Amino acid sequence: MWPFPPKRFSKNSLVDAGSMGIDVQGRVIAFGDFNGDQFLDALTLGSDQQTLTVYLWSHDDFIFKLSDTFTHSRKIYNVVPGDFTHSGKLDLLVMAESSTSNQLDLTLYPAMPGGGFDKSTLLSIPPSALPQPIPIDVDGDMRIDLFGMTPTSQGSSGSPFQVWQNIWNASEPHSPLFNVGDPFFKGAQCQLANPHSNAVVDFDGDCLADLFLLCDNGHGGKSYQIWVNNKSKGFSLASQGAMPAGVQTVSFADIDRDGTIDMVFATCVSVSTSTGVGTDCAINIAYNQQLPLCASGDSGVKKGVQTCRPPDDLCTADPAFKFDLSGANDAYVRLPISSLFPSGSLVVLDTTQVPQLPISLKLGDANLDGFPDMLVIIASAQDHVPKMLISVPCGVGTIGCGPGHVKRGWSVATKGTEALDAIKDARSVSFLDMDEDGTLDIMVQRTGGAGQGNIMFVQNNIYYDAFFLKAIAVLNGACGNGWCYGPNGTERYHPFGVSYSGASYKYTVLDTTGSRSAAQVGQLPQTGYHALQTPYAFFGLGRTNNYIENLFVGSTMHAPQHYINMEGVIPNSKVVILPPSQAGDPWKRELFLRPGEWIPLVTLTVVVGTALLAVIVLVLHLNEKREDEMERRRASHHINFDAL
């Protein structure tokens, strides 16, 4: 007689959800919304490294279902889903081995309006050097360009950087997709590392995506460069420096929730190429030092100098931003793996793939407190076990909180993590939100033993009394009115799955104590080397009883106002932003509210409460009516002696 369906997962813990329908002897290589239904789909690569399979998420069946499969002509190194043809649907950029040893062959599988990919009309793209190119909008037209090095520019002492500028014209049947050149970067350019951690994310705080590059200095040394986006003036070199010895992959997130993007990376003295396990590894956090959030009543300007950012003006650039990786300052923290896992070592390479893949530190707010947590793989004896590190406030004895450090500490998650601890053959971990229910789940890729699959999903069913906000996408301006139409005019669809890199989000929120904080999140900053980042931005809001005060959403448009400010956004919602397709058009925004699991209980409580109040009102009404009747009868028997 209970009118609501039973819970799919009832245990308050991380729950083993199995393969969720993905049955491949290979790996998941990328995420994307391939059918534009606002649910995350998966793209897998077979064990032959040539077969690609698209799995679409079925909300009704709560499972991934096979949709399309095809085989590429050469061994695939990476796939980047993106709307390269500006049609509002995801195309597939395939990076594969070449007959020439020092380059990657690039091929585009265009999306078809009715679904699937056009396998008969592939678009050939000028090849890249071995460091994988990344998608970026360099010219501000909201179309996906590529950044990297060509085989001829690599090794150049002057201009190794090259841009594949998107010049696609759908009305021309033989239009080229890219024009390769370098009109956007002026300054001392480095040689890109292979593998690298190149990323498109905002560093100076103006809500306009900049460019981070991991460079190869030769002889095993690495450095970094940060190029700031100056819109129509191109990119200028704003910061550079040496990376610590033994640096691995660099990840990016707002670790201390101060409204700036920080660096997170591992360093190891040495790495075994046979097992992928590092020796004497440490997790390093370099905090971005720039203008803080203004206190209440502070205008942010003193003697004509900007000293902080007001809550209603977060997208103010700070040209003086900096990272100090020297290790002798309060903005740099080093956490030895031995302090977190005394008998374990960090796994930094996936040796099951050819060429070997770097394993980055995966960041995501698993407990919705507003501070990113971390997924790592720890080697103990012959086991490779996924572990979660939870960001916690600094206190006495908290790991990562030494003298002078007032940022965040870390602890190993142990409560309800049996599903993770049972895995002994992990080779990759990733955060994702299955079924778009507002919790970050975990996907673990395994080497696969007898009776075991290669893919395992772990449902995050731990209850947190906190709120979240998800920005599905800042779209790329395709189909300016929000609807796209196929060639025959009968096919109509929303351009929700465009996987646009470089969008930036900043927000302010008040917690239950009245304290205001700011946070920043980037959208799809990294796509190289099977980065497996989701095409949406997900951020926990912590405990709050208010609307989000200000949500700033930045695009890569070269317009005077490349961002908007949304006030009073409802928590536990999903936001879609449609930038103008041309100058002068308005921004469009859509807000989707998804009922949580607590809605039936709230509904039942409201109904029972209303019924109880109705009974009380009815009883009081009947009592009042009875007393009025008695009073009327007494009055009718009263004799007025004065009248006699």
Per-residue pLDDT tens over the stretch 334-361: 999 999 999 999 999 999 988 999 999 9
Q: Tell me if 226 sits within 8 A of 211, measured CB to CB.
A: yes
Closest CA to 107 of 79, 136, 131: 79
Q: How high is the pLDDT of residue 11? A: 78
Rounded (5°) CA angle 361-362-368: 135
Average pLDDT over residues 396-410: 78
What is the percent of the chain with per-residue pLDDT over 70, rounded to a whole number?
94
Cα gap 11→582, rounded to integer Å: 50
pLDDT band at 644; cut points 50, 70, 90: low
Cβ burial, residue 356 (10 Å; 0-12/13-18/19+): middle
pLDDT band at 396; cut points 50, 70, 90: confident
Q: Which residue has the higher pLDDT, 156 or 596?
A: 156
Cβ burial, residue 112 (10 Å; 0-12/13-18/19+): middle
Q: Tell me if 376 sits within 8 A of 353, measured CB to CB.
A: no
Average pLDDT over residues 106-112: 94
SS3 322: strand
Per-residue pLDDT tens over the stretch 282-331: 999 999 999 999 988 787 888 888 899 999 899 999 999 999 998 778 88
Beta bridge partners of 227: 211, 237
Q: Is the pTM of this model over 0.85?
A: yes
Q: How high is the pLDDT of residue 505? A: 94
Average pLDDT over residues 392-400: 85
pLDDT at 513 over 90: no
Cα gap 201→260, rounded to integer Å: 10
Contacts of 39 (CB under 8 A, 6+ apart): 33, 56, 57, 59, 435, 436
Average pLDDT over residues 72-79: 96
Q: Tell me if 105 sits within 8 A of 127, measured CB to CB.
A: yes
Per-residue pLDDT tens over the stretch 531-560: 999 998 998 888 877 889 899 999 999 988
Beta bridge partners of 334: 284
Cβ burial, residue 176 (10 Å; 0-12/13-18/19+): middle
Q: Which residue has the higher pLDDT, 101 or 150?
A: 150
Q: How high is the pLDDT of residue 431? A: 96
Per-residue pLDDT tens over the stretch 418-449: 999 999 999 999 999 998 888 899 999 999 76
pLDDT band at 56; cut points 50, 70, 90: very high
Contacts of 533 (CB under 8 A, 6+ apart): 31, 430, 524, 525, 526, 527
Q: How high is the pLDDT of residue 449? A: 63
Average pLDDT over residues 455-477: 81
pLDDT band at 451; cut points 50, 70, 90: low
SS3 460: strand
Average pLDDT, the chain: 89
Cα gap 492→469, rounded to integer Å: 28
DSSP state of 641: G
Contacts of 73 (CB under 8 A, 6+ apart): 50, 96
Q: How high is the pLDDT of residue 3? A: 60
pLDDT at 183 over 80: yes
Cβ burial, residue 595 (10 Å; 0-12/13-18/19+): exposed
DSSP state of 192: B
Give the Å distances, CA to CA, from 308 to 298, 305, 312, 321.
Answer: 8, 9, 12, 12
Per-residue pLDDT tens over the stretch 230-246: 998 999 999 999 999 99
pLDDT at 185 over 80: yes
